[in-house]
Amino acid sequence: MKINRRDLLAATAAGIVGAAGLSLGASRPAFADEPSYTPEEGASLRLLRWTPFVQGDEDAWLANTKKFTEATGVEVRIDKESWEDIRPKSAVAANVGSGPDMVLCWFDDPHQYPDKLVDMTDLGTYLDGKYGGFYEGLKGYAMRGDKYISLPLAAIGNAICYRQSHVEAAGFKEFPKDTAGFLELCKALQAKGTPAGFAHGKAVGDGNNYAHWLLWSHGGKVVDENGVVSINSPETLAALNYAKELYKTFIPGTESWLDINNNRAFLAGQVSLTANGVSLYYAAKKDEKLKDLVADLRTVNFPIGPVGKSVELHQTTQAIVFKHTKFPNACKAYLKFMFEAEQMQSWITGASAYCCQPLKAYADNPVWTADPLHAPYAVASSTLQPNGYAGPLGYASAAVMADYVVVDMFASVVTGAATPEEAIAQAEKRANRYYKV
- pLDDT classification of 436: cutoffs 50, 70, 90: confident
**What's the DSSP call for residue 51?**
P
Residue in 411, 418, 410, 365 with CA at minimum distance from that of residue 131: 365
Q: What is the pTM of this model?
A: 0.89
CA distance 148 to 132: 17
Which fold is adopted by the domain 5-156+314-382? D-Maltodextrin-Binding Protein; domain 2 (3.40.190)
For residue 48, the one-letter residue type is L
> pLDDT at residue 4 above 50?
no
**Bridge-based pairing state of the strands 159-163 and 297-300:** antiparallel
CA distance 3 to 6: 8
What pLDDT is recorded for position 8?
39
Percent residues over pLDDT 70 in the chain: 92
**What's the DSSP call for residue 405?**
H
What pLDDT is recorded for position 65?
98
What pLDDT is recorded for position 437?
54
CA distance 332 to 327: 9
Residue in 359, 335, 350, 338 with CA at minimum distance from that of residue 19: 338
> pLDDT at residue 21 above 50?
no
Looking at every residue in the chain, the average pLDDT score rounds to 92
> pLDDT at residue 29 above 60?
no
Mean pLDDT for 9-37 is 47
b/e map 69-87, b = 16+ CB within 10 Å? eebbebebebeebebbebb
Q: For 211-239, write each residue's pLDDT tens digit.
A: 999 999 999 999 999 999 999 999 999 99
- In order, the DSSP letters of 150-192 are SEEEEEE--EEEEEHHHHHHTT-SS--SBHHHHHHHHHHHHHT
Percent residues over pLDDT 90 in the chain: 92
Opening angle at CA 112, ends 107 and 117, nearest 5: 95
Q: For 89-145, write each residue's pLDDT tens digit.
A: 999 999 999 999 999 999 999 999 999 999 999 999 999 999 999 999 999 999 999
Coil, helix or strand at residue 141: helix
Least confident of 12-21, 36-45, 413-422: 12-21
The backbone region for 104, taken as left when phi is positive above 0, alpha when psi lies in -120 to 50, beta otherwise, is beta
CA distance 96 to 94: 6
> pLDDT at residue 7 above 80?
no
Opening angle at CA 275, ends 365 and 383, nearest 5: 45
What pLDDT is recorded for position 25?
30
Other Cβ atoms closer than 10 A to 98: 11
What pLDDT is recorded for position 165?
98
- pLDDT classification of 348: cutoffs 50, 70, 90: very high
> pLDDT at residue 20 above 50?
no
Domain boundaries, the chain: 5-156+314-382, 159-313+403-434
- pLDDT classification of 32: cutoffs 50, 70, 90: very low
Q: For 62-71, write each residue's pLDDT tens digit.
A: 999 999 999 9
- In order, the DSSP letters of 323-356 are TT-S-HHHHHHHHHHHHSHHHHHHHHHHTTTSSB
Q: For 368-410, write each residue's pLDDT tens digit.
A: 999 999 999 999 999 999 999 999 999 999 999 999 999 999 9
For residue 203, the one-letter residue type is A
Q: For 260-310, write each residue's pLDDT tens digit.
A: 999 999 999 999 999 999 999 999 999 999 999 999 999 999 999 999 999
Q: Name the CATH architecture for the domain at 159-313+403-434.
A: 3-Layer(aba) Sandwich (3.40)
> pLDDT at residue 17 above 50?
no
- pLDDT classification of 151: cutoffs 50, 70, 90: very high
Q: For 329-339, write each residue's pLDDT tens digit.
A: 999 999 999 99
- pLDDT classification of 31: cutoffs 50, 70, 90: low
Same fold, 5-156+314-382 and 159-313+403-434: yes
